[in-house]
């Protein structure tokens, strides 16, 4: 059982990411105060997706893990999206 050389993320990196995440949060609050119709939800979710990708890649270490885990995460999200899409094929066209 070889000991892998574990990758250590510097404290500073986490703090930079935190700053970015807070900035994005405040941005999403500000933007959604402006009335943009259906675009509001889309933008809010897009910002949420960007925040998530930082949490996944840095906090949860995905950037430095085996690529297969990242692919699996994306696959799971896509499967969920596909289920929602197909369900909407019912509700949209009733």
Partner 1 sequence: MNTQTGIVEPSFLEHKGKYTGIFSWIFSTDHKRIALLYLFSILSFFVVGATLGLLMKFELIAPGKTIMTPEAYNAFFTLHGIVMIFAVVIPGLPAVFGNFLLPIMIGAKDVAFPRLNLLSWYLYVAGVSLVLISQFAGQGPPDTGWTFYAPYSFRTAGNMLPAVFGAFVLGFSSILTGLNFLVTMHRMRAPGMTWLKMPLFPWTLYATGWVQLLATPIIGITLLMIVAERTLHIGFFDPTLGGDPLLYQHLFWTYSHPAVYIMILPAMGAISEIITTFAHKTIFGYKFMVVSALAIAFVGYFVWGHHMFTSGMSGTALYTFSLLTFLVAIPSAIKVFNWISTMHQGSLDLQTPFFWAAAFIFVFMVGGFSGLILGSLAANVHLHNTHFVVAHFHFIVFGGTGFAFFGAMHYWYPKITGRMYDTRWANIGLVLFFIGFITLYGPMFYLGFKGMPRRYYDYDEVFHAGNIISTMGSWVLYSGLAVIIINLFASLKGGIKAPADPWGGKTLEWTVPSPPPVENFDEIPVITKGPYDYQ
Partner 2 sequence: MSTTPELHRDDQASKIGMWFFLFTEMLLFGGLFIVYSIYRFRNAEAFHQAAHELSIPIGTINTIILLISSTTIAMSVTAIQKKDKKLALILLCTTIVLGLAFLVNKYFEWGAHLKEHIYPGSSVLALRGQGDVLFYGLYFFMTGLHALHIIIGLIFIAVITRMIYKDKLNSESYALHENSGLYWHLVDLIWIFLFPLFYLIT
Binding site for partner 1 (CB under 8 A): 76, 79, 82-83, 86-87, 89-94
Structure tokens at 12: 């500073």
Cβ atoms of residues 39 and 84 within 8 Å: no
93 binds, among partner 1, partner 2, none (CB under 5 to 8 A by kind): partner 1
Cβ atoms of residues 29 and 44 within 8 Å: no
d(CA 72, CA 47): 22
Interacting residues toward partner 2 by CB under 8 A: 1, 4, 6, 8-11, 14-15, 17-18, 21-22, 25-26, 28-29, 32-33, 40-41, 44-45, 47-48, 51-52, 55-56, 58-61, 65, 69, 72-73, 76-77, 80, 83-84, 87-88, 91-92
């Amino acid at each position: 059982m070889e000991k892998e050389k574990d990758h250590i993320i510097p404290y500073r990196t986490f703090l930079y990411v935190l700053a970015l995440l807070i900035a994005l949060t405040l941005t999403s609050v500000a933007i959604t105060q402006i009335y943009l119709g259906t675009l509001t939800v889309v933008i809010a979710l897009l910002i949420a997706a960007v925040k998530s990708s930082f949490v996944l890649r840095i906090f949860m270490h995905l950037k430095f893990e085996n690529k297969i885990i990242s692919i699996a995460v994306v696959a799971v999200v896509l499967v969920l999206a596909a289920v929602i899409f197909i369900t909407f094929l019912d509700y949209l066209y009733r």
